[in-house]
Amino acid sequence: MRNQNSLSQNIMWEATTTCNSAYDGVFFYAVKTTGIFCRPSCKSRVPNRENISFYSNAANARKAGYRPCKRCRPDLKSIITYDPLEIVIEETMQIIEEKYGQKILLDELASMVGISLII
C-alpha cells in the first residue's frame, strides 16, 4: 500500500497537478493563500507550488488551521476507502464490549448490526 511517508514532495506535487485520484486518502494538500485543503483529485485550480503544503491526513491539515474544500470534501471519508463492512465490524466490537459477560447469540448480534446471518 502507498504510504505518505514514502512519497516524495515531487510525486505528491505531480499527483496534485494531474488530479490523480489514485492518491486520494494517501495525502492531502493545503493552500496557504486560500486556507483550504484538498484531495489530490480536486478539480480546483492548482495553485503555485510554493503556496502548497502536504499532509498525510485531514486531521493534521485541520490542526494546521486549514478548512476542508467545499468541492472535493477532504473531510469526508472518500468513496474509495469507504467500506460498509468496516462499520459493521466496528459496531459488532462495540456491542461485544458493552455486553461483555452476557450471553449473546450470534444471530442476535447479527441483527443488532443490521445484517442477516446465513449458515
38 catalytic? Reply is yes
Does residue 30 touch Zn ion according to CB under 5 A? no
Does residue 7 touch Zn ion according to CB under 5 A? no
**In the chain, how long is the greatest CA-to-CA distance?**
60
Q: Out of 7, 15, 38, 58, name the contact with Zn ion by CB under 5 A.
A: 38
70 within 8 A of 101, measured Cβ to Cβ? no
In eight-state DSSP terms, residue 52 is E
Does residue 72 touch Zn ion according to CB under 5 A? yes
Select from 7-15, 68-76, 95-103, 109-117 the region that touches Zn ion (CB under 5 A): 68-76
Does residue 2 touch Zn ion according to CB under 5 A? no
Does residue 42 touch Zn ion according to CB under 5 A? yes
Beta bridge partners of 86: none
In eight-state DSSP terms, residue 35 is T
Query: 99: how many CB neighbours lie within 10 A of its CB?
Result: 13
Residues annotated as catalytic are 38
